[in-house]
Amino acid sequence: MHGADAVLLIAAILSDKDLQYFVKIVKTLGMTALIEVHTLAELDRVLALEGVNLIGINNRNLENFSVSLETTSQLLASRLPQIQAKGILVVSESGIHTPADLAQLASVGAAAVLIGESLVKQPDPGTALAKLATEIATPHSTL
């Protein structure tokens, strides 16, 4: 629909019934629903739905705007086997600035990341992204 590939659904503001309904509609339109969670309770609600392929874990608390990559770590620590068994891809969102952040998130099971604020605050976001990608591709020694 108009070139969109995905639709963001935020579990914190949608009921289970609405989430399930929107997942079905999104699939019918040939798109993927990225369902965003921030708490274990939200994650459990989403895991109980049918047809979920993509879960975004927002490291930013939308109530107080604090950011911690530990959010992804904590949620995946207890639910990664269930997520993997269902074939769901996990996207870690917000608070990602460095190759070390990317490595940390990959080590706990995040398969993808959504990087926004840290890039748009750069004078040249394209250059910043290219630098991040280069640093990932050519790890440096920490000695």
141 pLDDT band, cuts 50/70/90, is very low
Weakest mean pLDDT among 91-105, 108-122, 127-141 = 127-141
- Interval 115-133: pLDDT, tens: 988 888 989 999 988 888 8
Question: Angle between the 125-137 and 99-108 helix axes, to the nearest 10 degrees?
Answer: 60
Using one digit for the tens of pLDDT, what is the confidence trace for 39-87? 999 999 999 999 999 999 999 998 999 999 999 999 999 999 999 999 9
Amino acid at 42: E
Is the pLDDT at 139 greater than 80? The verdict is no
The pLDDT score that the predictor gives to residue 132 is 84
In this prediction, residue 10 carries a pLDDT of: 98
What tokens were used for 52? 């979920």
Write down the pLDDT at residue 135: 77
- What is this structure's pTM? 0.90
Retrieve residue 10's tokens.
Answer: 């935020």
User: Taking the mean position of all CA atoms in its chain, how far away is CA 92?
Assistant: 3
Residue-wise pLDDT tens digits, 4-34:
899 999 999 999 999 999 999 999 999 999 9
Sign of CA dihedral 60, 66, 69, 71: negative
Tokens (6 digits) for 25: 């509609």
* Cα end-to-end distance, the chain, whole Å: 51
Neighbour count for residue 91 (Cβ, 10 Å):
19
Q: How many CA atoms lie within 13 A of 80 on its CB side?
A: 13
Sequence-distant (6+) residues with CB within 8 A of 48 are 16
pLDDT confidence band for 143 (50 / 70 / 90)? very low
